Structure 1
């Protein structure tokens, strides 16, 4: 975040950085990203997302919201996991207040493309064409190991 401005520049920088690493580190990046976003997979944060969006938030939208939370920084992320209402005080949410959603543009609180940056770096390093996804996700699953139990949102709806 300190290296660039804007999501697109951040993704380019991150992809470049990851593609300089061994494949195992790229896979571990995705595993850790999955772990961190799962920390935010709570009903209370889902309710906060719905409040920010002005109503309903779909499953995919909430996943992308969690990725966006990663992008607003560790301190804000940790604070929001503990107290979802703290999101209201972040500059990223404050800039949305009073603006119609159709004018949010680049400020929209989601960051789907962050979920694909490691796969892109993996493809660059393996020089694979567009079908590197299977190999990448197999490596991620192998690194994560068997995940048991319910992976649904924590807490009460």
Structure 2
């Protein structure tokens, strides 16, 4: 395929994915260190209960924990409170909570919900961003979550809440790590290894198409959100397109635990299986992100660095 034929596809992809470059590194390492430190006192409390006790957390019990974790602050503060609550419970409760979290996040995989997140986050609508937005949505509680699934424009009522945390918007990345770090603190083991079923290899597929959500469609389907954030989204599109036009991917970059990663390399994700490196980019010379191709799906993901013993990516077995 000629470079002229490739260019529109690349631009189309980066129009969606390129915004992640502007958000990825906002406070992540600091959040994770603080989260791990705050869990330590709760491990001792947990040891007083039987680690072998059985449980099956119901959805009402899940939402009760979500409500108890509410309070002041944004992503980091909510993640800390949720992790502390989970670290006081038996390991199986944490596993059950994670299963409920994943189920509700999949249930919210709807086009209008994605579009609402796009507008609330001022045009930031990447795959990873949509995951973090659904975590934020769950963190708002059952009433907000269920209303959004039938009327995504209802989230316009939370515009001021989102505006009060401009650095993170309506994306809670750390919130999704709370069960993982709580389980690790209580058991010293990997939460994903304790799940009763492993996720299927390959990225989960959606039943809707983000390309169907033009500005005109957004204005028609989400009028209140568009009235508040439509101009911000359009300005963001222009800024991202300018960055795309000026960007050239390096041929290779050093990545902690992976060595030198080059375009075309195949890496294996711990949960989703093998993927090919399509594009590399870095903002600070340390954290490396990449557009990874899983079969026929592309996704922007972080390659490294990661915490020791918790690397999500590896080289294929020789």
Relative to the length of structure 1, the TM-score reads: 0.76
Q: Indicate the residue corresponding to 2:72 in structure 1.
A: 5
Candidates 30, 51, 54, aligned match of 2:119: 51
Q: 1: distance between equivalents of 2:124 and 2:80?
A: 31
Deviation for aligned residue 1:69: 0.4
Q: Indicate the residue corresponding to 1:33 in structure 2.
A: 101
Matched, 1:82 2:137: no
Q: 1: distance between equivalents of 2:200 and 2:167?
A: 36
Is 2:79–2:176's contact at 8 Å kept on the other side of the alignment? Answer: no
Matched, 1:125 2:178: no
Deviation for aligned residue 1:54: 2.9
Relative to the length of structure 2, the TM-score reads: 0.40
Q: 2: distance between equivalents of 1:19 and 1:87?
A: 31
Candidates 166, 175, 182, aligned match of 1:104: 166
Q: Indicate the residue corresponding to 2:192 in structure 1.
A: 137
Q: Which has the larger radius of gyration?
A: 2
Deviation for aligned residue 1:146: 6.6
- Greater length-normalized contact order (CA 8 Å, ≥ 6 residues apart): 1
Deviation for aligned residue 1:96: 4.9
**Match of 1:85, SS?**
helix
Matched, 1:70 2:138: yes
Matched, 1:94 2:160: yes
**Match of 2:94, SS?**
helix
Distance 1:15 1:80, change over 3 A: same
Q: Indicate the residue corresponding to 1:61 in structure 2.
A: 129
Is 1:11–1:117's contact at 8 Å kept on the other side of the alignment? Answer: yes
Is 2:135–2:173's contact at 8 Å kept on the other side of the alignment? Answer: yes
**Match of 1:105, SS?**
coil
* RMSD, matched Cα: 2.6
Q: 1: distance between equivalents of 2:207 and 2:143?
A: 21
**Match of 2:147, SS?**
helix
- Stretches of structure 2 that go unaligned for 5 or more consecutive residues are 1-66, 213-318
Candidates 183, 187, 206, aligned match of 1:153: 206
- Stretches of structure 1 that go unaligned for 5 or more consecutive residues are none
Is 2:136–2:172's contact at 8 Å kept on the other side of the alignment? Answer: yes
Q: 2: distance between equivalents of 1:43 and 1:85?
A: 12
Structure with greater helix percent: 1
Q: 1: distance between equivalents of 2:123 and 2:193?
A: 36
